[in-house]
Amino acid sequence: MTTTHPTPLWQPSEERIRNSRLHHFQGWLEQRTGQQFRDYDALWRWSVDHLEAFWEAIWQYFDVVASEPYTEVLDSHEMPGAQWFEGSRLNLVEQIFRFHHDQPDRPAILSRSELRPLQSLSWGELRRQVAALASRLRERGVGPGDRVVAYLPNVAETVVAFCACASVGAIWSSCSPDMGTRSVLDRFRQIDPKVIIAVDGYRYGGKDFDRLEVVRGLREALPTVEQMILLPYLDPEARLDGADLWRDMVEGETPMTFEQVPFDHPLWVVYSSGTTGMPKPIVHGHGGTLLEGLKGHALHMDLGPEDRFMWFTTTGWIMWNSQITGLMVGSTICLYDGNPGYPDLGTLWRFAEETELTFLGAGAAYFLNCKKAEIEPGQWLTPGRLKSVGSTGSPLPEEGYQWIMDQLGDVMIATISGGTDVAAAYVGGCPILPVYSGEMQCRYLGTATYAMSDDGRILEDEVGELVVTKPMPSMPLYFWNDAEGLRYHDSYFDVFPGIWRHGDWIRITPRGGAVIYGRSDTTINRHGIRMGTSEIYRVVEEFPEVLDSLVVDLEYLGRESFMPLFVVLREGQSLDEDLKNRIKSAIRDNLSARHVPNDIVPTPEVPRTLTGKKMELPIKKLLLGQSLDKVANPDAMANPDSLTFYIDYAERRDTANGAGQVKTG
């Protein structure tokens, strides 16, 4: 617990406050409403107390282009089910191309990869390629509501493909080519795609990975696909029978048009995994994504047309979608595809200098790895150019904040927490507030975020469940193939009826900032990529030697993430190195390298409830240091004696790590 009045790690200058977009918005809002906001907290409270007035102000301040006006801002505060800006018609991609008409040669995208040198795609060329590809898609019968899926890396072509897809009203969904076949099919099969755009392979860490056979398999396993587009990336001469070549699809001059769609027309399907069943196919809309993106990137990240913005990501993480939002505020976005630690951890810092970044974002693990490796970014950076550093994916502890400040000096540390579920942030940066070590600066405007106890009380300066008590425009429209909304409801509203529960532990500080402590549920969040335990079980339990399994991610602020996989073996089997390696390889090949367990441990039994459910969360809490009487009721278990093994395991880990109990509220 931090003290009530700690010393700020960073304080924005008066000039920075005065020139910030948030300061300008506040002044505009005061003139428009006659309100006076003495500080950020007053502005935030007004924004959640007057939800409709706030979001209408966002619409008007950013002059959102719509071919039809809205008839009502919000029909009710009921969750789920709130309807935003009904009657309006717009297109998110139209917002992207509102910028730099008088400077068509200005860079829209700067990109580099392990396969390519630095490349620049101008705003004019971006517009031309998007228009050409959109025209080809229309010619092939792709229109509003059709699904276009991408198996592509973090390169400029992927941005072009998304913009073309969304401009015709089709629905986008992407996976990174480092994801295994099963993991990709578990996602794409659910949405019946009409078009797949894929890469032939990629390079990572100096090694080449051919993906043509995987792509063939995807096409065969997706019977609804009518067209495939191949991007030769690893091998410029790569070809695939029946597939159109990317270069042919983006040739020529074609007028740009934007399909006008309702505010809640589906924009993309992203995936967030729970503990049971297939990955959840979450559908977000054009309008909600647009408004949340403008607010978050312009006001909280302080990005605009003069900025160069990068968040290191893959196309399978929601932060790739966040990069698209950089274009929506007119910034140049900078993409890097490859291993950020190859040939050394200075790679992204050198890229930052090469592209003249003003905002660099990455997963918290990257900054901590740089600290451990004693990287000194200042040796590569022009002093004063980099204004902000963003971090997300897992909690950034105090030593991470201190390292960034020691190395970079006068930068805003914009640590954010939100997620795939809302394609937005709940808490994060604020250019007019100080930064306190280990603490996110504020709750985002228009976002009624709180810490809540198990019995439904709002907590002050205590750790509780992260909840949102009023609707956000970017909350999911629905889950695909969930007509009754049952899975959607069970994912967020089953614990606190009518209140969104995100699944993180959070503490709201006396200053109005926030500290995230890790996942409060059992979703595995490794380096920002979330995966459900059920996906891991499907792979592990296919091994004939394995009868049962249990996996938990022991992530908590101040502790390095550690993911053990417990396996129950058939009689007569032993967990030798060969079996361990085969299990790890299967997870790596079918799911992702990020979700290979740190250790595989033989266990006599998997604890289960009387109804047969694996007791993942109680075991996670036990291994994080909570006492047994607080995490499990033996009378509600089918096999209470199974807990003995995990109690002993927890004690052995605490002894080995020199760790005490972790208090989670």
Residue 561 CA to residue 153 CA, distance in Å, equals 26
Distances (CA, A) of 525 to 393, 597, 636: 7, 12, 28
Residue 269 CA to residue 282 CA, distance in Å, equals 5
What's the pLDDT tens digit per position in 124-145? 999 999 999 999 999 999 999 9
Q: Report whether pLDDT(665) > 60.
A: no
Strand partners, 268: 172, 284
User: In terms of Cα–Cα distance, which of 268, 315, 314, 321 is closest to 297?
Assistant: 321
Sign of the C-alpha dihedral, residues 268, 482, 85, 193? Answer: positive
Q: Report whether pLDDT(638) > 80.
A: no
Q: Report whether pLDDT(13) > 70.
A: yes
- What's the whole-number mean pLDDT along residues 555-575? 85
Residue 334 CA to residue 109 CA, distance in Å, equals 6
- What's the whole-number mean pLDDT along residues 417-437? 95
Q: Mean pLDDT, the chain, as a whole number? A: 92
> How many alpha carbons lie under 13 Å from residue 417 in its C-beta half-sphere?
30
Residue 93 CA to residue 327 CA, distance in Å, equals 9
Q: Which residues contact 498 (CB under 8 A, 6 or more apart)?
A: 78, 79
- What's the whole-number mean pLDDT along residues 223-236? 98
Q: Using pLDDT thresholds of 50, 70 and 90, give the confidence band for residue 3.
A: very low
User: In terms of Cα–Cα distance, which of 311, 280, 218 is closest to 530?
Assistant: 280
What's the pLDDT tens digit per position in 62-117? 999 999 999 999 999 999 999 999 999 999 999 999 999 899 999 999 999 999 99
- What's the whole-number mean pLDDT along residues 459-472? 95
Residue 94 CA to residue 50 CA, distance in Å, equals 28
- What's the whole-number mean pLDDT along residues 628-641? 80
Q: Using pLDDT thresholds of 50, 70 and 90, give the confidence band for residue 14.
A: very high
Sign of the C-alpha dihedral, residues 152, 133, 171, 71? Answer: positive
User: What stretch of H or E contains 442?
Assistant: strand 442-443
Q: Residue holding tokens 């409060």?
A: 520
Residue 378: per-residue pLDDT? 95
Residue 640: per-residue pLDDT? 87
What's the pLDDT tens digit per position in 179-214? 888 889 999 999 999 999 999 999 999 999 999 999
Most confident of 100-104, 367-371, 382-386, 556-560: 382-386
Q: Please, where are the H alpha helices in 62-155?
A: 92-96, 123-139
Q: Using pLDDT thresholds of 50, 70 and 90, give the confidence band for residue 656.
A: low
Q: Using pLDDT thresholds of 50, 70 and 90, give the confidence band for residue 663.
A: very low
Q: Report whether pLDDT(419) > 50.
A: yes
Residue 521: per-residue pLDDT? 73
Residue 664: per-residue pLDDT? 32
